Amino acid sequence: MKINRVHAIIISAFLFAAIFYVLPVFAGPYRDYIPFISAFKALATSYPQLVSYESIGKTVLNEDILMFRIGNPAGGVVLFDGAIHGWESQGSELLYLYAQWLLTSGDSLANDILTRTCTLIVPAVNVDNYNTLRVNIHHVDLNRNFATDWQYGGSTDPTSDNYRGSSALSEPEAQALAGVFQARKPSAYVNIHDGGGGEILYASSYTNSTYRSSVISKINSMSAQRGATPYGNPIVISGPGEAISDAAKGGTRTSFLLEIGNGTRPLSEVNTLVLPRFIPIAVVLSQESESNVSNILFTDSFESGDFRSWDGNQTTGGETLSVTNRLSRQGVMSASFTAYGSSSSETAYIYKNLEPSATIFARGYFLATSFTATANYSRFYFTAFAASDQTVAMAGCLRSGNVTWWRLAVWNGTNWLLADSEASQFLNQWHRFELQWTQNSTDGYGKLYVDGKMVSSISGINTAMYGPVDSAKFGIAQSGGAKTAFYLDYVQLSRVSLGPLPIPEDLNQDFRIDMLDLSIAARSFGAVIGSAYWDPRADLNADSKIDMRDITTIAIHFGEKQV
Protein backbone atom coordinates (compact mmCIF):
# COMPACT_ATOMS: atom_id res chain seq x y z
CA MET A 1 0.00 0.00 0.00
CA LYS A 2 1.28 3.39 -0.95
CA ILE A 3 1.59 5.69 2.02
CA ASN A 4 0.84 9.29 1.13
CA ARG A 5 1.62 12.38 3.23
CA VAL A 6 -1.73 12.30 5.03
CA HIS A 7 -1.26 8.66 6.01
CA ALA A 8 2.24 9.42 7.27
CA ILE A 9 0.98 12.20 9.49
CA ILE A 10 -1.76 9.97 10.92
CA ILE A 11 0.65 7.10 11.61
CA SER A 12 3.20 9.45 13.18
CA ALA A 13 0.55 10.98 15.39
CA PHE A 14 -0.63 7.51 16.47
CA LEU A 15 2.90 6.38 17.32
CA PHE A 16 3.61 9.61 19.24
CA ALA A 17 0.39 9.24 21.22
CA ALA A 18 1.20 5.63 22.07
CA ILE A 19 4.68 6.53 23.28
CA PHE A 20 3.35 9.46 25.29
CA TYR A 21 0.74 7.22 26.91
CA VAL A 22 3.20 4.50 27.89
CA LEU A 23 5.99 6.70 29.24
CA PRO A 24 5.50 8.75 32.41
CA VAL A 25 6.05 12.49 32.33
CA PHE A 26 9.28 12.20 34.34
CA ALA A 27 10.57 8.65 34.44
CA GLY A 28 13.78 8.08 36.37
CA PRO A 29 15.69 4.80 36.37
CA TYR A 30 13.57 3.44 39.20
CA ARG A 31 10.57 1.15 39.54
CA ASP A 32 7.04 2.38 39.07
CA TYR A 33 4.94 2.56 42.21
CA ILE A 34 3.09 -0.76 42.00
CA PRO A 35 6.16 -3.03 41.62
CA PHE A 36 8.06 -0.88 44.10
CA ILE A 37 5.45 -1.00 46.85
CA SER A 38 4.79 -4.68 46.15
CA ALA A 39 8.46 -5.36 46.92
CA PHE A 40 8.12 -3.42 50.17
CA LYS A 41 5.02 -5.40 51.11
CA ALA A 42 6.93 -8.61 50.41
CA LEU A 43 9.26 -7.74 53.27
CA ALA A 44 6.29 -7.97 55.63
CA THR A 45 5.45 -11.39 54.19
CA SER A 46 9.03 -12.62 54.55
CA TYR A 47 9.56 -11.15 58.05
CA PRO A 48 6.11 -11.07 59.68
CA GLN A 49 7.53 -10.82 63.21
CA LEU A 50 9.56 -7.74 62.32
CA VAL A 51 7.63 -5.90 59.60
CA SER A 52 4.06 -4.68 59.33
CA TYR A 53 2.36 -1.90 57.43
CA GLU A 54 -0.74 0.28 57.62
CA SER A 55 -2.43 3.08 55.76
CA ILE A 56 -1.90 6.49 57.37
CA GLY A 57 -4.38 8.20 55.04
CA LYS A 58 -5.60 8.58 51.48
CA THR A 59 -4.32 10.60 48.54
CA VAL A 60 -6.41 12.93 46.39
CA LEU A 61 -7.19 9.92 44.16
CA ASN A 62 -8.11 7.82 47.22
CA GLU A 63 -4.95 5.69 47.13
CA ASP A 64 -3.53 4.42 50.43
CA ILE A 65 -0.41 6.11 51.79
CA LEU A 66 1.42 3.22 53.42
CA MET A 67 3.69 3.33 56.44
CA PHE A 68 5.91 0.34 57.31
CA ARG A 69 6.90 -0.45 60.89
CA ILE A 70 10.13 -2.40 61.32
CA GLY A 71 11.61 -3.72 64.56
CA ASN A 72 10.40 -3.28 68.13
CA PRO A 73 6.97 -1.56 68.36
CA ALA A 74 7.80 -0.44 71.91
CA GLY A 75 11.20 0.97 71.03
CA GLY A 76 12.38 4.48 70.33
CA VAL A 77 10.59 5.89 67.27
CA VAL A 78 12.38 7.18 64.17
CA LEU A 79 10.57 8.21 61.00
CA PHE A 80 11.81 8.33 57.39
CA ASP A 81 9.88 9.22 54.26
CA GLY A 82 10.45 9.58 50.54
CA ALA A 83 8.81 10.98 47.41
CA ILE A 84 7.02 13.87 49.08
CA HIS A 85 7.86 15.27 45.66
CA GLY A 86 6.52 12.57 43.38
CA TRP A 87 9.32 12.48 40.86
CA GLU A 88 12.02 12.19 43.57
CA SER A 89 11.74 8.42 43.86
CA GLN A 90 15.43 7.72 44.42
CA GLY A 91 14.82 8.38 48.12
CA SER A 92 12.08 5.76 48.10
CA GLU A 93 14.45 3.18 46.64
CA LEU A 94 17.03 4.15 49.26
CA LEU A 95 14.52 3.46 52.01
CA TYR A 96 13.75 0.05 50.54
CA LEU A 97 17.49 -0.76 50.47
CA TYR A 98 17.82 0.44 54.07
CA ALA A 99 14.92 -1.81 55.13
CA GLN A 100 16.65 -4.72 53.38
CA TRP A 101 19.89 -3.89 55.17
CA LEU A 102 18.14 -3.94 58.54
CA LEU A 103 16.51 -7.29 57.86
CA THR A 104 19.18 -9.22 55.96
CA SER A 105 22.66 -7.77 56.54
CA GLY A 106 23.37 -9.46 59.87
CA ASP A 107 25.29 -6.31 60.84
CA SER A 108 25.38 -5.97 64.63
CA LEU A 109 24.16 -2.37 64.32
CA ALA A 110 21.19 -3.49 62.22
CA ASN A 111 20.33 -6.23 64.70
CA ASP A 112 20.50 -3.77 67.58
CA ILE A 113 18.10 -1.42 65.77
CA LEU A 114 15.67 -4.27 65.14
CA THR A 115 15.77 -5.13 68.84
CA ARG A 116 15.50 -1.67 70.32
CA THR A 117 14.00 0.71 67.74
CA CYS A 118 10.64 1.18 66.08
CA THR A 119 11.61 2.29 62.56
CA LEU A 120 8.73 3.92 60.67
CA ILE A 121 9.07 4.29 56.89
CA VAL A 122 6.62 6.06 54.60
CA PRO A 123 8.17 5.05 51.25
CA ALA A 124 6.11 7.47 49.17
CA VAL A 125 4.01 10.41 50.32
CA ASN A 126 3.00 11.61 46.85
CA VAL A 127 1.61 8.28 45.64
CA ASP A 128 -0.64 9.67 42.89
CA ASN A 129 2.24 11.28 40.98
CA TYR A 130 4.96 8.84 42.00
CA ASN A 131 7.82 8.84 39.48
CA THR A 132 6.10 11.48 37.34
CA LEU A 133 5.50 14.96 38.82
CA ARG A 134 6.83 17.03 41.72
CA VAL A 135 3.37 18.21 42.83
CA ASN A 136 0.26 16.27 43.81
CA ILE A 137 -2.94 15.95 41.76
CA HIS A 138 -4.08 19.40 42.97
CA HIS A 139 -0.74 20.78 41.69
CA VAL A 140 0.34 21.52 45.28
CA ASP A 141 3.95 21.21 46.42
CA LEU A 142 3.31 18.99 49.44
CA ASN A 143 6.51 20.15 51.12
CA ARG A 144 5.19 23.72 51.19
CA ASN A 145 1.76 22.73 52.53
CA PHE A 146 2.53 22.12 56.22
CA ALA A 147 1.28 24.37 59.00
CA THR A 148 4.44 25.94 60.42
CA ASP A 149 4.87 29.41 58.90
CA TRP A 150 2.91 28.19 55.87
CA GLN A 151 2.11 31.76 54.82
CA TYR A 152 5.81 32.57 54.37
CA GLY A 153 6.80 29.63 52.17
CA GLY A 154 6.23 28.40 48.65
CA SER A 155 4.31 30.26 45.97
CA THR A 156 0.77 31.61 45.77
CA ASP A 157 0.71 30.88 42.02
CA PRO A 158 -1.36 27.70 41.37
CA THR A 159 0.70 27.04 38.22
CA SER A 160 4.02 27.05 40.09
CA ASP A 161 5.71 23.79 41.07
CA ASN A 162 6.24 25.44 44.48
CA TYR A 163 2.52 26.25 44.94
CA ARG A 164 1.80 25.98 48.66
CA GLY A 165 -1.93 25.27 48.34
CA SER A 166 -5.02 27.23 49.29
CA SER A 167 -4.36 26.87 53.02
CA ALA A 168 -2.05 25.10 55.43
CA LEU A 169 -2.57 21.32 55.40
CA SER A 170 -5.13 21.63 52.62
CA GLU A 171 -3.88 18.40 51.02
CA PRO A 172 -4.75 14.92 52.30
CA GLU A 173 -1.17 13.72 51.85
CA ALA A 174 0.19 16.47 54.12
CA GLN A 175 -2.60 15.82 56.62
CA ALA A 176 -1.67 12.13 56.74
CA LEU A 177 1.99 12.82 57.47
CA ALA A 178 1.15 15.51 60.03
CA GLY A 179 -1.04 12.92 61.72
CA VAL A 180 1.96 10.63 62.11
CA PHE A 181 3.96 13.44 63.74
CA GLN A 182 1.17 14.01 66.23
CA ALA A 183 0.25 10.39 66.94
CA ARG A 184 3.66 8.72 66.94
CA LYS A 185 5.84 11.64 68.13
CA PRO A 186 9.07 10.33 66.57
CA SER A 187 12.32 11.18 68.28
CA ALA A 188 13.93 11.76 64.88
CA TYR A 189 12.64 12.45 61.37
CA VAL A 190 14.37 12.46 57.97
CA ASN A 191 12.59 13.76 54.87
CA ILE A 192 14.51 12.50 51.80
CA HIS A 193 14.81 14.37 48.48
CA ASP A 194 16.80 14.03 45.26
CA GLY A 195 15.80 17.21 43.48
CA GLY A 196 19.17 17.97 41.98
CA GLY A 197 20.17 20.55 44.59
CA GLY A 198 23.37 18.76 45.52
CA GLU A 199 24.13 16.38 48.36
CA ILE A 200 23.23 18.39 51.44
CA LEU A 201 21.81 17.80 54.89
CA TYR A 202 19.41 20.47 56.18
CA ALA A 203 18.25 20.76 59.80
CA SER A 204 15.15 22.43 61.21
CA SER A 205 15.85 25.60 63.18
CA TYR A 206 13.10 24.54 65.57
CA THR A 207 15.33 21.86 67.11
CA ASN A 208 17.81 22.44 69.94
CA SER A 209 21.16 23.51 68.49
CA THR A 210 23.30 21.95 71.24
CA TYR A 211 21.63 18.57 70.93
CA ARG A 212 21.67 18.77 67.13
CA SER A 213 25.43 19.43 67.12
CA SER A 214 25.97 16.44 69.37
CA VAL A 215 24.00 14.18 67.01
CA ILE A 216 25.85 15.44 63.93
CA SER A 217 29.19 14.82 65.65
CA LYS A 218 28.14 11.22 66.32
CA ILE A 219 26.98 10.77 62.71
CA ASN A 220 30.28 12.09 61.35
CA SER A 221 32.22 9.86 63.71
CA MET A 222 30.26 6.76 62.69
CA SER A 223 30.66 7.66 59.02
CA ALA A 224 34.43 7.75 59.49
CA GLN A 225 34.36 4.40 61.30
CA ARG A 226 32.44 2.82 58.43
CA GLY A 227 34.53 4.46 55.70
CA ALA A 228 31.62 6.57 54.43
CA THR A 229 31.73 10.21 53.38
CA PRO A 230 29.57 12.22 55.79
CA TYR A 231 27.22 14.93 54.56
CA GLY A 232 28.91 17.32 56.98
CA ASN A 233 27.40 19.88 59.31
CA PRO A 234 23.82 20.62 58.30
CA ILE A 235 22.54 23.91 56.97
CA VAL A 236 19.98 25.18 59.48
CA ILE A 237 16.75 26.41 57.88
CA SER A 238 13.44 27.76 59.18
CA GLY A 239 11.59 25.71 56.52
CA PRO A 240 8.30 27.61 56.16
CA GLY A 241 5.52 25.19 55.24
CA GLU A 242 7.88 22.21 55.27
CA ALA A 243 7.39 18.82 56.88
CA ILE A 244 10.56 19.02 58.99
CA SER A 245 9.21 22.17 60.66
CA ASP A 246 5.91 20.58 61.67
CA ALA A 247 7.77 17.54 63.00
CA ALA A 248 10.14 19.65 65.07
CA LYS A 249 7.34 21.86 66.37
CA GLY A 250 5.54 18.69 67.47
CA GLY A 251 8.48 17.62 69.65
CA THR A 252 10.78 15.69 67.29
CA ARG A 253 14.26 16.29 68.70
CA THR A 254 16.14 16.05 65.40
CA SER A 255 14.38 16.87 62.15
CA PHE A 256 16.34 16.72 58.89
CA LEU A 257 15.79 17.19 55.18
CA LEU A 258 18.34 15.11 53.27
CA GLU A 259 19.16 15.90 49.64
CA ILE A 260 20.88 12.80 48.23
CA GLY A 261 21.34 14.38 44.78
CA ASN A 262 21.50 13.00 41.22
CA GLY A 263 17.99 11.67 40.74
CA THR A 264 19.06 9.80 37.60
CA ARG A 265 21.87 7.67 39.06
CA PRO A 266 21.43 3.92 38.48
CA LEU A 267 19.75 1.89 41.20
CA SER A 268 23.00 -0.06 41.65
CA GLU A 269 24.74 3.18 42.64
CA VAL A 270 22.00 4.00 45.15
CA ASN A 271 22.99 0.72 46.80
CA THR A 272 26.77 1.17 46.58
CA LEU A 273 27.15 4.95 46.96
CA VAL A 274 24.13 6.41 48.73
CA LEU A 275 23.16 3.66 51.19
CA PRO A 276 26.60 3.55 52.91
CA ARG A 277 26.36 7.32 53.53
CA PHE A 278 22.78 7.05 54.79
CA ILE A 279 23.32 4.16 57.22
CA PRO A 280 25.35 6.20 59.77
CA ILE A 281 22.59 8.82 59.86
CA ALA A 282 19.89 6.21 60.41
CA VAL A 283 21.93 4.26 62.97
CA VAL A 284 22.80 7.27 65.14
CA LEU A 285 19.24 8.59 65.07
CA SER A 286 18.02 5.12 66.02
CA GLN A 287 20.48 4.90 68.89
CA GLU A 288 19.47 8.35 70.09
CA SER A 289 15.80 7.42 69.95
CA GLU A 290 16.51 4.36 72.07
CA SER A 291 18.05 6.48 74.80
CA ASN A 292 15.41 9.20 74.46
CA VAL A 293 12.33 7.01 74.46
CA SER A 294 12.23 6.84 78.25
CA ASN A 295 13.44 10.42 78.76
CA ILE A 296 10.91 12.58 76.89
CA LEU A 297 7.63 12.25 78.74
CA PHE A 298 5.26 14.78 77.20
CA THR A 299 5.11 17.72 74.78
CA ASP A 300 2.18 20.01 74.05
CA SER A 301 2.00 23.27 72.09
CA PHE A 302 -1.81 23.57 72.35
CA GLU A 303 -2.04 23.53 68.55
CA SER A 304 -5.08 21.25 68.71
CA GLY A 305 -6.99 24.23 70.05
CA ASP A 306 -7.99 22.49 73.26
CA PHE A 307 -6.57 20.38 76.10
CA ARG A 308 -7.26 16.96 74.59
CA SER A 309 -3.65 15.79 75.11
CA TRP A 310 -3.97 16.22 78.87
CA ASP A 311 -5.50 13.88 81.41
CA GLY A 312 -7.77 16.48 82.93
CA ASN A 313 -8.14 19.91 84.51
CA GLN A 314 -9.34 21.50 87.72
CA THR A 315 -10.73 24.97 88.42
CA THR A 316 -12.22 26.75 91.38
CA GLY A 317 -15.17 29.11 91.04
CA GLY A 318 -14.43 32.16 88.90
CA GLU A 319 -11.01 31.06 87.63
CA THR A 320 -10.64 30.22 83.93
CA LEU A 321 -8.46 28.27 81.55
CA SER A 322 -8.67 28.08 77.76
CA VAL A 323 -6.68 27.88 74.52
CA THR A 324 -6.40 31.07 72.51
CA ASN A 325 -4.78 32.30 69.31
CA ARG A 326 -4.31 35.84 70.61
CA LEU A 327 -0.73 35.21 71.76
CA SER A 328 1.59 32.47 70.59
CA ARG A 329 5.23 31.63 70.93
CA GLN A 330 5.71 28.34 69.06
CA GLY A 331 2.72 28.19 66.76
CA VAL A 332 -0.68 29.83 66.50
CA MET A 333 -2.09 28.83 69.89
CA SER A 334 -1.24 29.19 73.55
CA ALA A 335 -3.01 28.41 76.84
CA SER A 336 -4.60 31.21 78.87
CA PHE A 337 -5.23 31.23 82.64
CA THR A 338 -6.85 33.77 84.97
CA ALA A 339 -7.24 34.07 88.74
CA TYR A 340 -9.30 36.77 90.42
CA GLY A 341 -7.59 36.96 93.79
CA SER A 342 -10.85 36.62 95.67
CA SER A 343 -9.68 33.83 97.98
CA SER A 344 -6.56 32.38 99.54
CA SER A 345 -6.76 29.18 97.51
CA GLU A 346 -7.55 29.31 93.78
CA THR A 347 -6.77 26.87 90.96
CA ALA A 348 -7.20 26.65 87.20
CA TYR A 349 -4.76 24.06 85.87
CA ILE A 350 -4.36 21.18 83.45
CA TYR A 351 -2.57 18.03 84.55
CA LYS A 352 -0.75 15.09 83.03
CA ASN A 353 -0.15 11.72 84.70
CA LEU A 354 3.34 10.39 84.05
CA GLU A 355 5.51 7.35 84.38
CA PRO A 356 7.17 7.74 87.81
CA SER A 357 10.41 9.72 87.45
CA ALA A 358 13.07 10.21 90.12
CA THR A 359 14.38 13.19 88.15
CA ILE A 360 12.10 15.42 86.11
CA PHE A 361 12.33 18.62 84.08
CA ALA A 362 9.53 20.88 82.88
CA ARG A 363 10.06 23.77 80.50
CA GLY A 364 8.03 26.15 78.37
CA TYR A 365 7.17 29.76 77.59
CA PHE A 366 5.40 31.99 80.17
CA LEU A 367 3.92 35.48 79.70
CA ALA A 368 1.93 37.43 82.30
CA THR A 369 -0.27 40.31 81.18
CA SER A 370 -1.31 41.29 84.72
CA PHE A 371 -0.39 40.52 88.34
CA THR A 372 -2.02 42.50 91.14
CA ALA A 373 -1.67 41.77 94.85
CA THR A 374 -4.99 41.62 96.73
CA ALA A 375 -3.21 40.91 99.99
CA ASN A 376 0.11 41.84 101.57
CA TYR A 377 1.55 38.57 100.40
CA SER A 378 0.25 37.43 96.99
CA ARG A 379 1.63 34.57 94.93
CA PHE A 380 0.71 32.03 92.27
CA TYR A 381 2.42 28.95 90.88
CA PHE A 382 2.26 28.11 87.16
CA THR A 383 4.06 24.72 87.23
CA ALA A 384 3.97 21.98 89.87
CA PHE A 385 5.18 18.41 90.31
CA ALA A 386 3.35 15.83 92.46
CA ALA A 387 4.32 12.44 93.86
CA SER A 388 1.61 10.14 95.23
CA ASP A 389 -0.84 13.07 95.25
CA GLN A 390 1.55 15.23 97.30
CA THR A 391 2.86 18.39 95.60
CA VAL A 392 6.66 18.33 95.93
CA ALA A 393 7.91 21.28 93.84
CA MET A 394 6.45 24.44 92.30
CA ALA A 395 7.59 27.35 90.13
CA GLY A 396 5.73 30.63 90.40
CA CYS A 397 5.67 34.35 91.13
CA LEU A 398 5.38 36.46 94.28
CA ARG A 399 4.16 40.06 94.61
CA SER A 400 5.33 41.98 97.66
CA GLY A 401 4.81 45.73 97.66
CA ASN A 402 5.70 46.98 94.20
CA VAL A 403 8.21 44.23 93.49
CA THR A 404 7.63 40.95 91.64
CA TRP A 405 9.77 37.90 92.37
CA TRP A 406 10.31 34.52 90.76
CA ARG A 407 9.59 31.86 93.36
CA LEU A 408 10.76 28.27 93.78
CA ALA A 409 9.06 26.08 96.40
CA VAL A 410 10.28 22.58 97.32
CA TRP A 411 8.75 20.21 99.91
CA ASN A 412 11.29 18.50 102.16
CA GLY A 413 8.82 16.11 103.78
CA THR A 414 8.07 18.47 106.65
CA ASN A 415 8.02 22.04 105.36
CA TRP A 416 7.98 24.11 102.20
CA LEU A 417 11.39 25.57 101.47
CA LEU A 418 11.27 28.81 99.46
CA ALA A 419 13.76 30.66 97.27
CA ASP A 420 12.96 33.98 95.57
CA SER A 421 14.69 36.11 92.93
CA GLU A 422 13.59 39.53 91.77
CA ALA A 423 11.93 39.49 88.33
CA SER A 424 12.83 42.40 86.05
CA GLN A 425 10.79 43.22 82.94
CA PHE A 426 8.17 40.81 84.18
CA LEU A 427 4.89 41.78 82.50
CA ASN A 428 4.03 41.57 78.80
CA GLN A 429 7.12 39.65 77.82
CA TRP A 430 7.64 36.01 76.95
CA HIS A 431 9.95 34.28 79.43
CA ARG A 432 11.51 30.84 79.05
CA PHE A 433 11.37 28.69 82.17
CA GLU A 434 12.59 25.29 83.33
CA LEU A 435 11.69 23.68 86.67
CA GLN A 436 13.95 20.84 87.81
CA TRP A 437 13.51 18.35 90.64
CA THR A 438 15.25 15.18 91.76
CA GLN A 439 14.40 12.56 94.39
CA ASN A 440 17.04 11.82 97.03
CA SER A 441 16.91 11.28 100.78
CA THR A 442 19.94 13.49 101.47
CA ASP A 443 20.87 15.28 98.27
CA GLY A 444 17.55 16.10 96.64
CA TYR A 445 17.09 19.44 94.96
CA GLY A 446 14.83 21.82 93.08
CA LYS A 447 16.00 24.47 90.61
CA LEU A 448 14.27 27.17 88.60
CA TYR A 449 15.72 28.62 85.40
CA VAL A 450 14.27 31.69 83.70
CA ASP A 451 15.50 32.96 80.32
CA GLY A 452 18.44 30.58 80.39
CA LYS A 453 19.71 31.58 83.85
CA MET A 454 19.23 29.83 87.20
CA VAL A 455 17.22 32.24 89.37
CA SER A 456 16.52 29.98 92.38
CA SER A 457 17.98 26.79 93.80
CA ILE A 458 17.29 24.61 96.85
CA SER A 459 19.59 21.60 97.31
CA GLY A 460 20.95 19.10 99.81
CA ILE A 461 17.50 18.21 101.17
CA ASN A 462 15.29 15.15 101.62
CA THR A 463 12.88 14.94 98.67
CA ALA A 464 12.30 11.18 98.85
CA MET A 465 9.41 10.93 101.29
CA TYR A 466 6.67 10.54 98.66
CA GLY A 467 8.70 8.76 95.99
CA PRO A 468 9.14 9.73 92.33
CA VAL A 469 7.06 12.36 90.54
CA ASP A 470 4.05 10.85 88.78
CA SER A 471 2.07 13.91 87.65
CA ALA A 472 2.59 17.53 86.61
CA LYS A 473 0.33 20.60 86.60
CA PHE A 474 0.48 23.69 84.39
CA GLY A 475 -1.60 26.82 84.85
CA ILE A 476 -2.74 28.15 88.20
CA ALA A 477 -1.53 25.16 90.17
CA GLN A 478 -2.01 27.14 93.37
CA SER A 479 -2.78 30.80 94.03
CA GLY A 480 -3.25 32.96 97.08
CA GLY A 481 -4.35 36.58 96.93
CA ALA A 482 -3.13 37.01 93.33
CA LYS A 483 -5.20 38.63 90.61
CA THR A 484 -3.43 37.57 87.46
CA ALA A 485 -3.74 36.61 83.81
CA PHE A 486 -1.02 34.75 81.95
CA TYR A 487 -0.24 32.49 79.03
CA LEU A 488 1.76 29.26 78.68
CA ASP A 489 3.02 27.69 75.47
CA TYR A 490 5.13 24.77 74.24
CA VAL A 491 5.32 22.98 77.59
CA GLN A 492 7.51 19.88 77.75
CA LEU A 493 8.27 17.24 80.37
CA SER A 494 11.34 15.01 80.31
CA ARG A 495 13.76 13.03 82.43
CA VAL A 496 16.69 15.06 81.09
CA SER A 497 17.15 18.77 80.59
CA LEU A 498 16.27 19.75 77.03
CA GLY A 499 18.04 23.08 77.41
CA PRO A 500 16.61 26.57 77.02
CA LEU A 501 14.06 27.33 74.34
CA PRO A 502 14.86 29.87 71.60
CA ILE A 503 14.74 33.44 72.86
CA PRO A 504 11.57 35.35 71.92
CA GLU A 505 13.36 38.03 69.88
CA ASP A 506 14.65 35.27 67.57
CA LEU A 507 11.41 35.36 65.57
CA ASN A 508 12.39 32.78 62.94
CA GLN A 509 14.13 30.59 65.55
CA ASP A 510 17.42 30.13 63.74
CA PHE A 511 19.31 30.70 67.03
CA ARG A 512 20.51 34.20 66.16
CA ILE A 513 18.92 37.64 66.13
CA ASP A 514 19.61 39.35 62.82
CA MET A 515 18.07 41.15 59.86
CA LEU A 516 15.72 38.24 59.20
CA ASP A 517 14.03 38.85 62.53
CA LEU A 518 13.83 42.60 61.91
CA SER A 519 12.36 41.88 58.47
CA ILE A 520 9.60 39.71 59.96
CA ALA A 521 8.65 42.47 62.39
CA ALA A 522 8.91 45.16 59.70
CA ARG A 523 6.61 43.19 57.41
CA SER A 524 3.93 43.25 60.13
CA PHE A 525 4.63 46.81 61.31
CA GLY A 526 1.44 48.62 62.20
CA ALA A 527 -0.67 45.45 62.26
CA VAL A 528 -3.14 44.62 64.98
CA ILE A 529 -4.93 41.34 65.68
CA GLY A 530 -7.13 40.55 62.71
CA SER A 531 -5.04 42.51 60.22
CA ALA A 532 -3.92 40.79 57.05
CA TYR A 533 -0.25 41.18 58.03
CA TRP A 534 -0.65 40.26 61.70
CA ASP A 535 2.17 37.98 62.91
CA PRO A 536 1.91 37.03 66.61
CA ARG A 537 5.63 36.25 66.78
CA ALA A 538 6.45 39.92 66.35
CA ASP A 539 4.17 41.12 69.16
CA LEU A 540 6.97 40.84 71.68
CA ASN A 541 5.40 43.04 74.38
CA ALA A 542 1.96 41.42 74.08
CA ASP A 543 0.01 44.62 73.50
CA SER A 544 -1.89 43.26 70.47
CA LYS A 545 -0.11 45.54 68.02
CA ILE A 546 3.23 45.56 66.27
CA ASP A 547 4.98 48.88 66.63
CA MET A 548 8.32 50.53 67.40
CA ARG A 549 8.43 48.96 70.85
CA ASP A 550 8.68 45.53 69.20
CA ILE A 551 11.25 46.74 66.65
CA THR A 552 13.28 48.34 69.45
CA THR A 553 13.24 45.11 71.49
CA ILE A 554 14.73 43.20 68.55
CA ALA A 555 17.28 45.96 67.95
CA ILE A 556 18.42 45.80 71.59
CA HIS A 557 19.20 42.09 71.21
CA PHE A 558 20.51 42.36 67.63
CA GLY A 559 23.54 40.16 67.04
CA GLU A 560 22.91 37.82 69.96
CA LYS A 561 23.22 34.09 69.35
CA GLN A 562 21.97 31.08 71.25
CA VAL A 563 24.10 27.96 71.43
pLDDT tens for 115-124 read: 889 999 999 9
What percent of the chain shows pLDDT beyond 70?
A: 93
Question: Residue 312 and residue 304: Cα distance in Å, rounded?
Answer: 15
Residue 34 lies inside a defined structural domain of this protein: no
Residue 278 lies inside a defined structural domain of this protein: no
Residue 59's nearest CA partner among 175, 212, 178 is 175
Boundary (domain end) residue, out of 439, 463, 494 = 494
Question: Can you give the pLDDT at residue 536?
Answer: 81
Is the CB of residue 79 less than 8 Å from the CB of residue 38?
no
Boundary (domain end) residue, out of 444, 464, 494 = 494
Mean pLDDT of 281-288: 95
The yes-or-no verdict on residue 544 having pLDDT over 50 is yes
Q: Is the domain of 478 the same as that of 540? A: no
- Can you list the positions of beta strands (E) in 252-358? 254-259, 296-300, 312-315, 320-324, 334-340, 346-357
Question: Residue 360 and residue 440: Cα distance in Å, rounded?
Answer: 13
The yes-or-no verdict on residue 4 having pLDDT over 60 is no
Q: Is the domain of 488 the same as that of 525? A: no
Q: Is the domain of 450 the same as that of 549? A: no
Question: Can you give the pLDDT at residue 326?
Answer: 79
Q: Is the domain of 316 the same as that of 459? A: yes
Q: Is the domain of 352 the same as that of 484? A: yes
Give burial (CB, 10 Å; 0-12/13-18/19+) of 42: exposed
What's the DSSP call for residue 536?
A: G
- Alpha carbon 490 to chain centroid, angstroms: 10
The yes-or-no verdict on residue 20 having pLDDT over 60 is no
Q: By mean pLDDT, which of 373-377, 403-407, 444-448, 507-511 is the weakest?
A: 507-511
Q: Is the domain of 533 the same as that of 389? A: no
Structural domain boundaries, residue 407: 309-494
Question: Can you give the pLDDT at residue 301?
Answer: 85
Q: Is the domain of 412 the same as that of 542? A: no
Read off the CATH number of the domain in which 551 is found: 1.10.1330.10
CA pseudo-torsion sign 528, 530, 534, 538:
positive
CB burial of 65-84 (b: ≥16 within 10 Å; e: otherwise) equals: bbbbbbbbeebbbbbbbbbb
Q: What is the pLDDT of residues 430-484, one digit of tens each?
A: 999 999 999 999 999 999 999 989 999 999 999 999 999 999 999 999 998 899 9
Mean pLDDT of 196-212: 89
- The number of distinct structural domains making up the chain is 2
Residue 422 lies inside a defined structural domain of this protein: yes
Q: Is the domain of 483 the same as that of 422? A: yes
The yes-or-no verdict on residue 356 having pLDDT over 80 is yes
The yes-or-no verdict on residue 6 having pLDDT over 90 is no
Residue 110 lies inside a defined structural domain of this protein: no
Q: Is the domain of 440 the same as that of 319? A: yes
Question: Residue 107 and residue 453: Cα distance in Å, rounded?
Answer: 45
Question: Can you give the pLDDT at residue 231?
Answer: 93
**Residue 349 pairs with which residues in a beta bridge?**
314, 475
Question: Residue 216 and residue 230: Cα distance in Å, rounded?
Answer: 10
Q: What is the pLDDT of residues 301-347, one digit of tens each?
A: 898 889 988 999 999 988 999 999 878 777 778 999 999 887 778 99
Residue 468 lies inside a defined structural domain of this protein: yes
Q: Is the domain of 328 the same as that of 416? A: yes
Question: In the predicted model, what is the mean pLDDT of the chain?
Answer: 89
Question: Can you give the pLDDT at residue 446?
Answer: 96
Output the CA angle 202-231-132, nearest 5 degrees: 65
Q: Model confidence at 26, in pLDDT bands (50, 70, 90)?
A: very low
Q: Is the domain of 320 the same as that of 448? A: yes
Q: Is the domain of 328 the same as that of 456? A: yes
Question: Can you give the pLDDT at residue 332?
Answer: 76
